[in-house]
Amino acid sequence: MSLTVESLGIDKLSIEERLQLIDLIWDSLPQSFEPTEIPEWHIAELEKRRAAVDAQPGVGILWRGMIPGLRDNTTCDRINVPSEPLGGKIVPETKRTLDELAKLGGEIFDQQIRPMLRTEDHGKFVAIDVETGAYEVDEDDYTAVARLRSRNPEADVWLMRAGYPTAYRIGAIR
């Protein structure tokens, strides 16, 4: 007889009790688990999906280009996903130390840029040339910096995010 929520009495639990049960089950799992065998149906499904993707090369959108479009409900064709290879090109380097960039970039952002930002800029990346105070705003961090460097290839760049204390969030340092 297969397990069901009814046979286990789960349907009689409150939502909080069910969430607590999920935690209990999760904690009961061993730290390491080595599956001895992958079921045939699973292998068949994986092969089927892989064949479907391989049959249509180029279909699909990189997450990097897709997410900004989802956020503002626009199509992805306005998202500039960098694709030109770097190979053989000289890429300008930022000259100042990290502390100098952070201090100057933070001051310029607070004093000059933050008052100029619009409501719709919330959450967008702000690339700042700490030498000149020039800046670019874009939903994509790479695009913001690339546009700033197209104006001044030698820019010393500090990256912020409008409406947030930092540009990024990192889940964990191990």
Partner 1 sequence: MICGVVNAQHEALVRLKMRGPGGIESDVDFIVDSGFTASLTLPRGVVTALGLPRHSGSNAVLADGIVRQFDVFAAEVEWDGTWRRVFVSVIDAESELSLT
In 3-state terms, what secondary structure has residue 33?
Answer: coil
Q: Report the nearest approach of partner 1 to the CB of residue 75 (Å).
A: 20
From 2-10, 16-24, 63-71, 110-118, span contacting partner 1 (CB under 8 A):
63-71
Distances in Å between the Cα of 89 and the Cα atoms of 130, 154, 160 are 24, 14, 26
34: number of Cβ within 10 Å: 5
Residue 39 touching partner 1 (CB under 8 A): no
Q: How far apart are CA 161 and CA 126, in angstroms?
A: 6
Residue 118 or 169 having the CB closest to partner 1: 169
From 11-19, 68-76, 107-115, 139-147, span contacting partner 1 (CB under 8 A):
139-147
Residue 78 touching partner 1 (CB under 8 A): no
Yes or no: say if 113 and 128 are a contact pair by the CB < 8 Å rule.
yes
Residue 19 or 164 having the CB closest to partner 1: 164
Residue 114 touching partner 1 (CB under 8 A): no
From 4-12, 36-44, 70-78, 92-100, span contacting partner 1 (CB under 8 A):
92-100
129: number of Cβ within 10 Å: 22
SS (H, E, C) 51-80: HHHHCCCCCCCCHHHHHHHHHCCCCHHHCC
Residue 160 touching partner 1 (CB under 8 A): yes
Residue 102 touching partner 1 (CB under 8 A): yes
